[in-house]
Amino acid sequence: MKKMRSIVAIVMVVTLLTGVALAYAASPPFERIPPQAYHRSGDWVKMLPRIYPVASESGGGADGGSSAVSPTPTSIPPTPPPKPKLSIRMPFTSYAKPGQTILINGTLTNNGEEDITVELVPISENGYIGRVIKPEWVSVKPAELTLAAGESEEFQISVTIPDDVDAGFYEGMLAFRPEDSVEQVEYYSIQVYRLLNEPVTEEFYVPQNSSRVVVTVTWSTGGYQFETGEGDLTVHLYRPSGQEIAPDTISTHISGYIDAYSYWGPRVVVKPTTIEGEMNEPGSRRVYKSHTVLYDIENPENGTWKLEMIPKDLLHFSYNIDVNPIKSPVKF
């Protein structure tokens, strides 16, 4: 009895598998269509591949019936993405301090074959968690551009950073809205920074029988295109006993260049009403100053020394402390 049941079960499984195989053979083959793409809000969005059955071909047989012809998959070329009607050129990253207004220059080009009118609108992304440049901080001139086919026009974004914002990386969005087409969105960012004004203290230990201690502190001004103010740094070095030591050398290195080419001018300008002076105007002169304070102490006393640095409106400064520095070998 058990043997009979096993035979019946095997027959049922074989019958089921045979039916599945016949159904698969009779069904039309599938073809994977290449990925499609479309343009939305200034970004190319790629769609997932789609799968469609390929239609089977049939023809009349000698007996008047129809016989299936092995179908050949037909290759369907992907639809080429439409060319954007607008080309936009503008810098991605700029720099500003809280309370400062900067101007960002850009260029808009009409790639179409007809005249087009475009509205320029500051926007922000809903639900974005990071720091954003709010539309109320931004104004655009002109707010609307009419371009002939192939024509390019310049525009200017004015961004005023509020006084109470934190330092950090802020992202903004500018929408370009043609009358008869979808909008394109261009992203830009501003690195908001605060000048250094807080004292920095570095303590270091000098072992017994040390032969030498060398301390150098360096800072510079005029080295950044987004900052023209003259900063300063006050340096103090104290022995373990608390006595202050006068520096051995205070040096200043001055360098500059004169720019006669208009294409060297930056596309980001700090408004003169906020910071005095023009920024890299063609034909202008820029001066860079590097300052160094040097302490070179022989037979320093054992204990904990303290280096105190007090910046005033500085972007950066650096310091080096060498206890028992290794002398470089003499080269012949």
* Per-residue model confidence (pLDDT) at position 82: 60
User: Reduced to 3 states, what is the DSSP secondary structure of residue 178?
Assistant: strand
Backbone φ and ψ of 166, nearest 5°? -80, 155
Determine the Cα–Cα distance for residues 1 and 4; give it in Å rounded to an integer.
Answer: 5
Backbone φ and ψ of 222, nearest 5°? 80, 10
Angle at 325 between CA 322 and CA 331, to 5 degrees: 135
Domain boundaries along the sequence of the chain: 86-192, 200-323
What is the end-to-end Cα distance of the chain in Å, rounded? Answer: 105
Determine the Cα–Cα distance for residues 173 and 60; give it in Å rounded to an integer.
Answer: 63
Return the residue matching tokens 């990386």.
Answer: 169
* Per-residue model confidence (pLDDT) at position 152: 94
277 exposed, middle or buried (CB, 10 Å; 0-12, 13-18, 19+)?
exposed
* Per-residue model confidence (pLDDT) at position 260: 59
What six digits make up the tokens of 128?
């974005």
Ranges of residues in the chain whose predicted pLDDT is under 50: 29-66, 68, 224-228, 262-283, 330, 332
Give the HSE-up count for residue 96: Cα atoms under 13 Å, Cβ half-sphere.
29
* Per-residue model confidence (pLDDT) at position 183: 86
CATH, domain range 200-323? 2.60.120
Q: Could you say which architecture CATH assigns to the domain 86-192? A: Sandwich (2.60)
